[in-house]
Amino acid sequence: MPRPKAVLIHGMLGFPRLLWRDYFHYVRPTLESMGLDVMVPKLKFGGTIKQRAADLCRQLADAEGPLHLIAHSMGGLDARHYITHMGGHEKVASLTTLSTPHRGSSAANFVLGGKSPFKLLSAMRYLTPEAAQKFNEQTPDHPSVGYYSYTASRPLDELPYISRRYGRHIHEWEVSNDSQVSRISAIWGKRVGHLHADHFELIGMNLWLHPFRKRQRFDHLPTYREIGERILKLMDPERGE
């Protein structure tokens, strides 16, 4: 039996690797140690969903399926576009998203209505709730692909200071959130778990810099091991029985 193939898809401001740090911190070796082959494509920084999906399509063109996509944040929207509109369904068996704004994020409206330099990014106007509604109408799930999702949140006073204003805005307009995406927006397909984490902890990045207060640490790797086990089970239904 061929080794299962996992594809790690980064978010809007992501990178496969920057100097010594992987975007998905220690996730690749974790999955490889479980017997999975891992690919980490590079998508356009701050690009539109179509641009980034095209990057994904091009870099997966020679990959043999079945592929199991694991996407953080906006990467989940790029993956859905690739599956539905670019023939990805022909080789993708599953998509697992972690805090993807499937129904948009009011934080995007906040950015677009203010003076943040992030408003200059092409991606931002595709992440509002209004844009997400249109995207969802035009991007139905493919029946041959399994869709799984993880949501995440922390109380406002546990969100990193540098992103807390976005979390506060989302909390006013939606519900609890991870400072970028609400719990409700992150649900797509089968919700397989809720994580007590902020948006950045999901990829192993700790932005909690409060010098006088500690918060409970979130270890992201068990979640990816769980995803890996689910992929292995999809490949071999008798596994674990």
Number of domains in the chain: 1
Question: Could you read off the pLDDT of 87-96 as tens digits, one per residue?
Answer: 999 999 999 9
**Residue 185 included in any domain:** yes
Confidence of residue 189 (pLDDT cuts 50, 70, 90): very high
CATH classification of the domain holding 122: 3.40.50.1820
Q: C-alpha 236: how far from its chain's center? A: 25
Positive or negative, the CA dihedral 210, 183, 115, 79 is: positive
Task: Give the range with max mean pLDDT: 14-18, 84-88, 173-177.
Answer: 84-88
End-to-end CA distance of the chain: 18
pLDDT of residue 239: 66
- Cα(78)–Cα(223) distance, integer angstroms: 21
Contact predicate 221/138, CB 8 Å: no
Q: Indicate the range of 62-71, 73-82, 167-176, 225-234 predicted with least confidence.
A: 167-176
Give the pLDDT of residue 168.
93
* Residue range(s) defining the domain that contains residue 203: 5-235
Q: In whole angstroms, what is the distance from residue 226 CA to residue 69 CA?
A: 14
- Residue 240 within any structural domain of the chain: no
155-178 mean pLDDT:
92
Q: Is residue 241 part of a domain?
A: no
With respect to residue 158, please indicate whether it lies within any of the assigned structural domains: yes
Q: Looking at the domain assignment, is residue 164 inside a domain?
A: yes
Q: Would you state the pLDDT for residue 133?
A: 98
Unique residue bearing structure tokens 């292995």? 232
Cβ proximity of 56 and 82 under 8 Å = yes
- pLDDT level of residue 236 (50, 70, 90 thresholds): confident
Sign, CA dihedral 32-38-42-47, equals negative
Q: What is the pLDDT of residues 5-50, one digit of tens each?
A: 999 999 998 776 665 689 999 999 999 999 999 999 999 999 999 9
Question: Residue 44 falls within a domain, yes or no?
Answer: yes
Does the pLDDT at position 240 exceed 70? Answer: no
